[in-house]
Amino acid sequence: MQVPFYKYQGTGNDFILLDDRETNVELTPELIRTLCDRRFGIGADGLMRFVSASEEGLDFSMRYFNSDGNPGSMCGNGGRCIVRHASLTGALKNSEATFRASDGIHMASVRPDGKVVLAMKDVASIEAVTMGHFLDTGSPHLVVQVQGVESFDVLLSGRKLRNTWRDQPAGTNVNFIEQKGDRISVRTYERGVEDETLSCGTGVTAAALVAFRLGWVSESRVLLETRGGELQVNFHPDTEGFRNIQLIGPAERVFQGTIQL
């Protein structure tokens, strides 16, 4: 069977996208792992399924899977990429989108320069823990301050820390951050990928909020550098947490094709 697919990337965080308007292939964990394999498949950090809207007021739904084949929590870069796909394929009436993801309903817009502004879930609190700060930005994240983040062993430390959070039986993502002038440098170990990725949308969101809490930035507009490029996070600090959080950055179609299954 020939299955059409699309490949997208958002600051180097790359995804396979299957559009239900074009294919209804059954996704098993084994198939997802094969498709995401960088040697025997297409290669990606994760796989998304574009699901046509079944609820009034929604443009579509997003189903996300990690490259290990398991259903994933909210993916910020993936969310921006699937909105760009909806725009490029005519699924949106204008430049704005409303869609459902694993953590609820999100709104987004595509700017003329191709960057996507994605509204993230509110964050009620940030918990200070022994190794750093923990918060949930649609996915669970541990944020750790380090020095020399460029040369830091993210793989070794990420693997050690991913299972240390008691309330997350599936583990947590781990972000290592350092202040670099007016920007925050972020590197992320992602659960489900079990490796460092070039960028993580929910991770940089977590990093921006922690940087504000630490006093590294005084404005609620934070620029963050990942290995895959620059992202921006806007937010409004509340008494305890944060609201009106936006993740802003590029989302690009890399290629499209078919794969024989």
pLDDT tens-place string over residues 134-163: 999 999 999 999 999 999 999 999 999 998
Q: Is the pLDDT of residue 166 over 70?
A: no
CA contacts within 13 A on the Cβ side of 97: 32
Catalytic site residue 75? yes
pLDDT tens-place string over residues 182-198: 899 999 999 999 999 99
User: Average pLDDT of 43-63?
Assistant: 95
Confidence of residue 53 (pLDDT cuts 50, 70, 90): confident
Residue type, 214: L
Q: Is the dihedral of CA 25, 28, 34, 36 positive or negative?
A: positive
- Per the document, the length of the chain is 261
Q: Which residue in the list 108, 118, 200, 204 is annotated as catalytic?
A: 200
Catalytic site residue 36? no
Q: Is the pLDDT of residue 90 over 80?
A: yes
Q: Which domains does the chain have, with CATH numbers?
A: 2-117+251-260 (3.10.310.10), 127-248 (3.10.310.10)
Q: Which residue in the list 75, 117, 186, 248 is annotated as catalytic?
A: 75
